[in-house]
Structure 1
Amino acid sequence: MSLLGGIRPPIAVLSVLLLALAGVTALTLGRAGQEAVPKAVKLSQQHFAEDGAIALRASIDESVTDLTRNAELFSAGDPVPPDAVLDKIGSVYQKWRGTAVVEISSGKLLAARGENLPLTAIDRGKLADKDGLAPRMVRLEDGETRLLSFALLTWEGKPQQLLVASSSLRFPGISLGKFRSIAVVGQDGHILSDDGIADPSQEDGAGRREQIKQADKQLKAFAATAAKKSRTHPIMSKEPGSGGFLGVSGHLTGDRYLGERAVAGYASLAGPEAGKATDATRLGLTVVAMVPVAEDSTATTSSAFGLLAAAALLLIGGVTIFLLLRTVQRPLIQLFLEGRRLTRGDLERPVSVPRRGEAARIGAALERLRRQLLGAPADKQSAPARRGRFGTRTLIAVCAVLLLAWSAPLMLMLNRAGDSVVVPQQMVNDQRERTDTLTDRVRRALNEGHADLTSVASLIGDRTEASEMSKVLESTMHQHTRYQSLYVLDAKGKVLAKAGDDPRSPSDEGPSDKAVRVIDEGGKEPVIIGTAEMAGRDGAAVVGEFRIEFLNSLLKRPGLGQVRVVDAKRKVIGANYGYQEFESLPSGRLNALAEGTGQKVGVGTRPSGVLYRDGDEIQIAAAAPFAGGGAASSLGWTVVSWQPASGLAIPEYTLQNRTVLAGLLGITAAAACLGWLHIVVVRPLRHLADQAEALADGDRRTVLYPTHHDEVGAVTRSLELIRQQLPTGTQRKRDGATAGLAGRN
């Protein structure tokens, strides 16, 4: 018999699949989403930690790049006094807590600004190594941690100097809300810096102080666990094909205190591209974000529904398998045995004819053929006798209907998540805070871009040769991918030097007096332009055009849904997914949300988060306007994000999704196995029934070929052997003539 053909494999596979599906149904449907803290809340904390890791990595790498680029530009010109170097850097950037210039050969401090730097922690003998200028962390006497960044100042004929800058491991622009805390954790699991944990000694009330102590204790426990988990390789830490954050990330659940459960997310610092390490990622830091979440006391762990659904499937599946065994498999095997008996010459016992279907037709034909082998003439059976019984196709359809009766309600009716879905308030808060963090990240990115332009304008100084200015512009383009083009304009709008693409700023005008602006040139994307005036150059300025892809890349955050950056007129400037330039937001309520939030900027209010309900459709939305200083603050932009609640791991939606999945699996198993049975057995059996009746009616010329090497094929071969044993019409005439001559003699 064929290994994959025949009547047995489809029925056996269907039995195994139904048993497996019943087990899965019992284990998953009853407990789907019945957790005190929904999985959606845990995943949201994981995404929050990922946002913090992205912001911290970008801040560290940006700081190192800015320091290195400025040192290279200083080194490319005439020697500059150390104090002038620090003054120029300090006038453009305010990101460092302290800066200093040190003579490498002697270790002498030449100039310093800001806080005192721990210069004794610098091993000047290793600066020539490959990683000698890599940033490193040092711990101060008061226990705080500083990150030191280095760059070389090199002029011909002068001793080599080291430019040093220190910064704290604080998160730039992270919106924590009221109760969340976030920390930077080292490789050893110790907390290097944290935000959101108050000082217990400054709090009133013993209960509040105890609550803070518990939070601090829980954060330290999370930090130790997260540091250990972050040492896992990113590929091994995630499910295959999950995508999303490129580093190691996850969520943790802590102890319960006063009805609240501590939930944390963690994320290691990962590069912007897979497999690409940066100065920040080599530090081995991990970000941990923790928030207390009120437990849902109504959540239960009842498995009643799953057990009932599994029991119903076992009952229906048992009836289906019984019908297939009793009405399809058993009669076919009976025909196989009867046909083989007749081919061996055992013609004394009548053929046992099945009761119904094609098997009954073939059995009746075998009985007629048995009598013909014994010498009876071929007789034609009437059509009603042949077609009056239910066929095998009808039995297969009945089995399909039985399985559909279990699967269809699960797919279409049971466990529907209606308008009574409870969306945790923490999800709305997280959407708002993450949108606010993203808004600050976009604003800071534009501010940093304008600061770079200001630095370039300062470093170009009195250089008038186009080649010298282009060299500075090319160096900046190489180190920063945010620009599409850089160029120098004189007071009349003439391009003096450029790098990158051709300028798209209006050439008939002089440099704009706006630090950052957006123009619509009728192309496929908005043009974002930054301008920095060059001191002492009669209105000349350095202009940079930002790549719109750079803006859009900042908006791609997992778990935040659709994100749009809109201007003061609520026209779209950038997005994390496809959009058209200056199009409107997709709905009036989102437009109203952006407009209402933008009007609150001047009164110090927080960003807005809202839950929209429209029947069964539930949507979480948030909007956050540009708030804070810098060149980009005058743009009046707002970041709007929204996502359907049905895409979140909320208990009601989880139960609905798993119920629908169980129904789909049931239909798939039924369609696959019953379809397999129909193709391999039912269709060949119907064809064989017609051939068997034709043979019994006297057709001795048609040769019977088996389609498959299975039970139907075995019966076909038996009928072919019987056909070869039956006398043809010529033989019967010859035998009759011979018998007549013998009688006369």
Structure 2
Amino acid sequence: MSLLGGIRPPITVLSVLLLALAGFTAVTLGNVREGRLPAAVLTSQQHFAEDGAVALRASLDESVTDLDRAAALFSAGKPVPPDAVLDKIGSVYQKWRGTAVVEISSGRLLAARGENLPLTAIDRTRLTGEGGLAPRMVKLANGETRLLTLSLLSFKDQPQQLLVASSSLRFPGISLGNFRAIAVVGSDGTVLSNDGIPEPEMVLTDLQRADVKRDTKQLRSFAKTAAKRTKANPLTTKEPGSGGFPGVSGSLTGGEWGGERAAAGYARLAGPEPGVGTSATSLELTVVAMVNVAQNPARTSDAFAGLVLAGALLLVGALVVALLVATVQRPLITLFLESRRLTRGDLARPVSVPRGSEAARIGTALERLRGQLADQDAPQPPDPSGRRKRRTGARTLLALCGVLLLAWCVPLGLLVNRAGADVVVPQQLVNDQRERTDTLNDRIRRALNEGQADLQSVASLMGDDTTPQHMTTVLERTAREHLRYDSLYVLDAGGKVLAQAGGTPQAAGAKGPRKEPITLHEGKKPVVVATAQLPGDTGSAVVGELRIDFLNSLLKRPGLGEIRVVDSQHRVIASNNGYRAFEKLGDERLDALVEGSALKVGMAPRPGSVLYRSGGDHVIAAAAPFVGGGAAKPLDWTVVSWQSAKGLAIHEYSLQNRTVLAGLLGFAVGAACLGWLQIIVIAPLRELARRAEALADGGRRTVLYPRHHDEVGAVTRSLEIIRQQLQQQRKQAGGRVSAPAGRN
């Protein structure tokens, strides 16, 4: 018999799978626990730390790229005095706390701006080797940590110079909200900088000082643990195909006091793609975000309910298996034995005919064939009634088994453990949605500001050399270094393109350069246009068209759901998912949220968040308008995000999801095993019944071939032997009749 064919394997597999599913149901549905800090809150803290790591990595890499590009543009032109170099850089970028130009050969300080730099920490003899110009961290006398970024200035017939810029390890535009702290941690677990925890001497009361000291101690403990965990390989800490953050990240829980427990997320700085390192990732920094969360009473599901559902499945499974064994398996085995007996020539005993279904039809045909084999001269026995009795078929029995299994599966998927309007969504999740949306909003605004600042740097470094060849060279170099631009070009006062790099300009008009630093061009698709005037009073300007795909890529953040960037008319400009340019949000609740966040509260708009309750569906939504300075502020854009609470690790939804999973597994088990029976056994059995009746009615010409090497195939082979025996008997009977006629 075939291992996969026959009647026994599918019924046995069905029995084993139903038994395993009953155990799964009893264990999972009766053991769904939710800690006093829901898993959704811990996952949210992990995503918060990942946002901080992404923002910090992008900021540090952007600083390195900006300094390298500025040095390269200076070096490509005529020699510029060190003071002029620092003045031009300072007029374009305000990101560095201090800048300096040092003569490499002598170590002499040529120019400096901002705070004093620890230049003695730089080994000038190793600047030309591999990694000699990599950014490095140094600690000042006051205990603060600075990041030094280095680049070379090479002028013709002048000693080589070193351009140095220092910056603090602070997070650009991270929205912390209330009672949250975020820190940058070194590879040894040392806290290099933190935001959100004030110095103890800055607070007013002894109780507040005690809280600050406790939070500081807890943050340091988290930092030590996170530094150890982030040393693991990212491939070993992520589930296959999980995607999301490409580096190592996770969550931690800390001490408890006053009904609150400390929760933290951590994430190591990782490149934009898995396995791709950058200047920032070489620093081996980790971001830790900590917040104190109010605890909920620990809850668990009802173990008795899980046992009841498992018992019901065992009862249904036993009934289904018993029905299949009694109506399909045993009759088929009986037919197998009876057909083998007939082929051996044992015709004295009548065939044992099973009851009902195709097995009874085959048994009746075998009995008729037995009579034909035993009485050679008897005529073909006609059907006494002229029609065969209708019997309950095997397909009907199989359908009945499917209905029994569905009677257990369907209620689990549609009725049992359904999460209703009383689902408790932690307020911390609503707050985190708001703060993360505000952080993402600031990241987009800063990216636009950086794009316009790059153009200002390009315009200032072009200087008086406005030949098309020189301008094209500068534009092509900028396009290679910054992939955010779809097209770069220089327009004169009359709107003529003097130099171009990248794609074809989409927003170049005949009226000359735009006056606004950043504006939105409304064509077939939205085009963000950044403009920087060239030095002098020529009216020419450098124009850069930013790719919308660049903005869309900034919105790819896990744990925020659907994200849209909308303008003042609530039209969609960018999205993390498929969208149509300039389409409306299409939701009155989201429109109202955007309007509410744009209202003036004091002096500036504020981000807002809300939990929408609509029946059993709970949606967390947040909106954050553009605030802060920079060229992008006049755009008046708003970042909107929303997600269903059903996808979060909340107790009620976890129980509902596991219940639905149990129902789907039951449906899959039933469909697979019953479908297996239908294909391997029932369908060939029905065909065999038709051929057996045709053979018993006198059809001797059709050869019977078995489909599978199983019980049905064995009965088919026996019928083929009987057919051949009947043909042989007919030939022999014909020979006996013709022989006497020949003698006469």
TM, length-normalised to structure 1: 0.94
Deviates more, 1:176-185 or 1:265-274: 265-274
Q: Aligned ranges for residues 215-254 of structure 1 at < 5 Å?
A: 215-254=215-254
Report the Cα offset of residue 583 of structure 1.
2.4
CA distance in 1, matches of 2:455, 2:604: 30
The equivalent residue for 1:516 is 518
CA distance in 1, matches of 2:153, 2:618: 58
CA distance in 1, matches of 2:545, 2:694: 85
The aligned amino acid for 1:125 is T
1:367 aligns with 2:367: yes
Give the secondary-structure state (helix, strand or coil) at the position aligned to 2:689. Answer: helix
1:624 aligns with 2:624: yes
- Taking a change above 3 Å as real, the CA distance of residues 383 and 273 of structure 1, as seen in their structure-2 partners, is farther
The equivalent residue for 1:468 is 470
% identity of equivalent residues: 65
Give the secondary-structure state (helix, strand or coil) at the position aligned to 2:275. Answer: coil
CA distance in 2, matches of 1:605, 1:701: 90
The equivalent residue for 1:74 is 74
Report the Cα offset of residue 68 of structure 1.
0.8
The equivalent residue for 1:326 is 326
Give CA deviations for 1:401-420 in whole Å, capped at 9, x if unaligned. 11111111112222222222
CA distance in 1, matches of 2:508, 2:92: 27
The equivalent residue for 1:393 is 395
Q: Indicate conservation of the 8 Å contact 2:606/2:625, yes or no.
A: no
Q: Indicate conservation of the 8 Å contact 1:593/1:623, yes or no.
A: yes
CA distance in 2, matches of 1:219, 1:70: 38
Q: Indicate conservation of the 8 Å contact 1:566/1:574, yes or no.
A: yes
CA distance in 1, matches of 2:579, 2:397: 53
Q: Indicate conservation of the 8 Å contact 2:82/2:110, yes or no.
A: yes
- Taking a change above 3 Å as real, the CA distance of residues 506 and 342 of structure 1, as seen in their structure-2 partners, is closer
1:165 aligns with 2:136: no
Q: Which runs of 5+ in 1 are unaligned?
A: none
Deviates more, 1:464-473 or 1:500-509: 500-509
Report the Cα offset of residue 313 of structure 1.
1.1
The equivalent residue for 1:688 is 688
- Taking a change above 3 Å as real, the CA distance of residues 382 and 674 of structure 1, as seen in their structure-2 partners, is farther
Q: Aligned ranges for residues 490-569 of structure 1 at < 5 Å?
A: 490-520=492-522, 522-523=523-524, 525-569=525-569
The equivalent residue for 1:648 is 648
Q: Aligned ranges for residues 41-190 of structure 1 at < 5 Å?
A: 41-190=41-190
CA distance in 2, matches of 1:453, 1:492: 20
Deviates more, 1:413-422 or 1:496-505: 496-505
CA distance in 1, matches of 2:653, 2:512: 57
The equivalent residue for 1:439 is 441
Give CA deviations for 1:520-550 in whole Å, capped at 9, x if unaligned. 2x32x22222222233234333222222222
Give the secondary-structure state (helix, strand or coil) at the position aligned to 1:499. Answer: strand
CA distance in 1, matches of 2:358, 2:596: 74
The equivalent residue for 1:455 is 457
Deviates more, 1:218-227 or 1:83-92: 218-227
CA distance in 2, matches of 1:621, 1:576: 15
Give the secondary-structure state (helix, strand or coil) at the position aligned to 1:316. Answer: helix
CA distance in 2, matches of 1:636, 1:364: 85
CA distance in 2, matches of 1:620, 1:640: 11
Give CA deviations for 1:630-675 in whole Å, capped at 9, x if unaligned. 1112222211112222232222222222222221221121111111
Q: Indicate conservation of the 8 Å contact 2:598/2:605, yes or no.
A: no
The aligned amino acid for 1:144 is E
- Taking a change above 3 Å as real, the CA distance of residues 23 and 206 of structure 1, as seen in their structure-2 partners, is farther
Q: Indicate conservation of the 8 Å contact 1:489/1:511, yes or no.
A: yes
Deviates more, 1:282-291 or 1:23-32: 23-32
Q: Indicate conservation of the 8 Å contact 2:513/2:531, yes or no.
A: yes
CA distance in 2, matches of 1:498, 1:52: 36
The aligned amino acid for 1:330 is R
Report the Cα offset of residue 584 of structure 1.
2.0
Deviates more, 1:118-127 or 1:18-27: 18-27
Give CA deviations for 1:72-100 in whole Å, capped at 9, x if unaligned. 11111222222221122112211111111
Give the secondary-structure state (helix, strand or coil) at the position aligned to 1:473. Answer: helix
Give CA deviations for 1:13-60 in whole Å, capped at 9, x if unaligned. 212221222222222223346333222222211211111111001100
Q: Aligned ranges for residues 261-410 of structure 1 at < 5 Å?
A: 261-297=261-297, 299-375=299-375, 377=378, 378-382=380-384, 386-410=388-412
Q: Aligned ranges for residues 198-209 of structure 1 at < 5 Å?
A: 198-209=198-209
- Taking a change above 3 Å as real, the CA distance of residues 604 and 692 of structure 1, as seen in their structure-2 partners, is same
CA distance in 2, matches of 1:74, 1:704: 90
Report the Cα offset of residue 424 of structure 1.
1.5
The aligned amino acid for 2:631 is A
Report the Cα offset of residue 167 of structure 1.
0.7
Give CA deviations for 1:462-489 in whole Å, capped at 9, x if unaligned. 2232222222222222211222222333
The aligned amino acid for 1:118 is P
Q: Indicate conservation of the 8 Å contact 1:188/1:227, yes or no.
A: yes
The aligned amino acid for 1:459 is L
Q: Indicate conservation of the 8 Å contact 1:54/1:270, yes or no.
A: yes
Report the Cα offset of residue 347 of structure 1.
3.3
Give the secondary-structure state (helix, strand or coil) at the position aligned to 1:235. Answer: helix
Q: Indicate conservation of the 8 Å contact 2:598/2:606, yes or no.
A: no
Q: Indicate conservation of the 8 Å contact 1:362/1:689, yes or no.
A: yes
The equivalent residue for 1:596 is 596
Q: Indicate conservation of the 8 Å contact 1:138/1:145, yes or no.
A: yes
Report the Cα offset of residue 154 of structure 1.
0.8
Q: Indicate conservation of the 8 Å contact 1:33/1:652, yes or no.
A: no
- Taking a change above 3 Å as real, the CA distance of residues 340 and 49 of structure 1, as seen in their structure-2 partners, is same
Q: Indicate conservation of the 8 Å contact 2:585/2:591, yes or no.
A: yes
CA distance in 2, matches of 1:591, 1:193: 39
Q: Report the RMSD for the aligned CA atoms in angstroms.
A: 2.5
The aligned amino acid for 1:541 is A
CA distance in 1, matches of 2:577, 2:434: 20
The equivalent residue for 1:713 is 713
The equivalent residue for 1:570 is 570
CA distance in 2, matches of 1:499, 1:341: 89
Report the Cα offset of residue 612 of structure 1.
1.6
CA distance in 2, matches of 1:381, 1:591: 78
The equivalent residue for 1:417 is 419
The aligned amino acid for 1:490 is D
Report the Cα offset of residue 280 of structure 1.
0.8
Give the secondary-structure state (helix, strand or coil) at the position aligned to 1:491. Answer: coil
CA distance in 2, matches of 1:592, 1:633: 21
Q: Indicate conservation of the 8 Å contact 2:137/2:148, yes or no.
A: yes
The aligned amino acid for 1:419 is A
Give CA deviations for 1:221-262 in whole Å, capped at 9, x if unaligned. 322232222223333321111112222222233333332232
- Taking a change above 3 Å as real, the CA distance of residues 326 and 221 of structure 1, as seen in their structure-2 partners, is farther
Report the Cα offset of residue 733 of structure 1.
5.5
Deviates more, 1:530-539 or 1:163-172: 530-539
CA distance in 2, matches of 1:634, 1:730: 103
The equivalent residue for 1:662 is 662
Report the Cα offset of residue 565 of structure 1.
1.6
- Taking a change above 3 Å as real, the CA distance of residues 335 and 546 of structure 1, as seen in their structure-2 partners, is same
- Taking a change above 3 Å as real, the CA distance of residues 20 and 211 of structure 1, as seen in their structure-2 partners, is farther
The aligned amino acid for 2:59 is S
- Taking a change above 3 Å as real, the CA distance of residues 375 and 137 of structure 1, as seen in their structure-2 partners, is same
The aligned amino acid for 2:218 is Q
